[in-house]
Copies of this chain bind each other. A is one copy, B any other.
Amino acid sequence: MNFEKEYCRYRTLVDNYLSRFIKEEKPKTVYEPVRYVLEGGGKRIRPVLLLLSCEVVGGRRRDAIHAGAGIEILHNFTLVHDDIMDHAASRRGRATVHTKWDSNVAILVGDELLALAYRALLRTESVHIRKIAKLFTEGVVEVCEGQGFDKEFETRSGVTVDDYLLMIRKKTGKMITVATEIGAVIGSASDRQAKALRAYGQHVGRAFQLQDDLLDIIGDEREFGKVVGGDVMEGKRTFLLLEAFRRARGKDRALLRSAFRNGGVSRSGVAEVRRIYFETGVIDATRAAVRRESTRAKTRLQSLPASNARALLLWMTDMLLNRTH
């Protein structure tokens, strides 16, 4: 099996669904940006995970496509609103909605996307529709909570590594777990299978975010698509920063403290922070954590029956966690 090609096939399924999904034209203020967002591409990780989670327990892809699209639309809703809150000017190489239009449009378009996410999800034909919609909804609640913590941490002192892990579990991890859980329900997974898929999602979600934090500091700028060290320059409380602060002593600790206090460091300060990350062993520790979570994720998959879907999920796990961008 050519995994890369097979993954693209799934991604295309999602892309096609989304491009056909919007029938309305008016009001233009709403539907032009909605189309712009949904046609913006991306890896479509969450829907592909959902589709494969359904198939790996014996379900049919076509029964899961509505929920897959729903979870992708939901993800895009969070991006549109987070970008306003973070004053982000671009995303995937294109202007963000609030930059291309304005903040009011972006608020409204995010709301509309959330409604459209439910519209897609609720097309799912399943006797478990209530459970599916509940999983989805609890996902939205936790994503909002995660974003709330993230914004609080920007100005709060004394944020610990545990605080950070709770925040990313909610903000990033939860929707990945929800994708695998909903896939399992649609595929009529046994309790044991559902549990394995949920645990898989949890490990992947955590590893995914750690890898993202890591790429900020050791990624290839051209491939990564954002400025390397961007998190450091903004003083963002990442796992790396918090863990390095816990480990560093003396002048290094003072430098990291000033990164917190002054809301980041200058571009030239990035190299210094990077050096501290390496010297305190935080880079290695994070790499090890990504490997550990990745291994645990794959181990949980091994308990499911062998199939093309399982093979693709295993490949996808490596693809996500060994990525350089």
- Using a CB–CB distance below 8 Å, which chain A residues touch chain B? 24, 26-30, 77, 81, 84-85, 103-105, 107-108, 110-112, 114-116, 118-119, 122, 129-130, 133-134, 137-138, 140-141, 144-145, 147-149, 151-152
Asked whether, in the complex, the Cβ of B145 is within 8 Å of the Cβ of A118, the reply is no
A105 CB contacts on chain B under 8 angstroms? 151
CA distance A24 to B165 in the complex (A): 19
CB contacts (< 8 Å) of A27 on chain B: these are: 145, 148-149, 152
A29 neighbours in B (Cβ, 8 Å): 148-149, 151-152
Q: Is the CB of B104 within 8 A of A84?
A: yes
A60→B29 CA distance, assembly (Å): 41
A108 in contact with B148 (CB, 8 Å)? yes
- In the complex the two chains form, what is the Cα distance from A240 to B44 in whole Å? 48
Alpha-carbon distance A129/B103, docked complex (angstroms)? 35
Nearest B-chain residue to A130, judged by Cβ: B129
CB of A48, distance to nearest CB on chain B (Å)? 24
B30 touches A145 (CB 8 A): yes
Distance, CA A114 to CA B118, complexed state (A) = 11
B144 and A81 contacting across the interface, CB-CB below 8 Å: no
Cross-chain contact A140 with B115 (CB below 8 angstroms): yes
With A26-B149, A81-B108, A119-B137 known, 8 other A-B pairs at CB within 8 A are: A26-B145, A27-B149, A28-B152, A30-B145, A84-B104, A112-B144, A112-B145, A122-B130
